[in-house]
Amino acid sequence: MKKTLVLSCVLVLALAGTAMAFGLGDVAKAAKNVASAKSNDLTLGGASADLKAYEGTPYDPGKKTYKTFGDATWDKLAESSSKTAMVVEFSDKVLADANAKKEDVDAAIKALEPLSTEAPKLVKSLVDFVTSVTSDTSKAVMLSEAKSVKDNLTSIAEKAPKVLAALKEKATAMAGAAM
């Protein structure tokens, strides 16, 4: 038993010495400064006030959760990315519904139109954010989340203009059929 205790003490001292030699003390200090995530819920009405009436309908993508860290730049990017994703998902559901009404299509177009041009700018802002926080150990958690959001938003930014164009075609066809 004494041998085990002595060996354990020697091992702990060796690990402590190694940690200090490799600067892990600095890493531990930096870890204390890492931002902690706060989960925020977003509804369709939160993404676009014009779409609040669609909450609870088959077009509603449901509640989305995004993370904020108390960093003004990141928090705004995270919220904007979530709103964009939600509006694109809503619009895609309207597009896919053969029984969608003209007012549903018009609501999707109205909500998606400004976002389809803003989404690529948002991707660039996310890339810039990732670049700016890469060397900041206190933002390591944000970096991981930002990379994930950027990848998701990149595909959404590519999809949004296609969905918008298809919605406009659908609206035109509906207007022609009403005549």
| Residue 10, C-beta contacts closer than 8 angstroms, at least 6 positions apart | none
Domain boundaries, given as residue ranges, for the chain: 1-32, 35-178
Query: What's the pTM value of the predicted model, to 2 decimals?
Result: 0.77
Predicted confidence (pLDDT) per residue in 65-119, tens digit: 999 999 999 999 999 999 999 999 999 999 999 999 999 999 999 999 999 889 9
The whole-number pLDDT of residue 35 equals 59
Q: Residue 161, class by beta-carbon neighbours within 10 Å (0-12 exposed, 13-18 middle, 19+ buried)? A: middle
**8, amino acid identity:** S
Predicted confidence (pLDDT) per residue in 129-163, tens digit: 988 888 888 788 888 888 889 999 999 999 999 99
CA distances 59 to 7, 52, 55, 108, 159, Å, are: 64, 11, 8, 10, 17
Name the residue with higher pLDDT: 177 or 87. Answer: 87
Predicted confidence (pLDDT) per residue in 14-43, tens digit: 444 444 444 444 444 444 444 578 999 999
Instruction: Say whether pLDDT at 174 is over 80.
Output: yes
Instruction: Say whether pLDDT at 12 is over 90.
Output: no
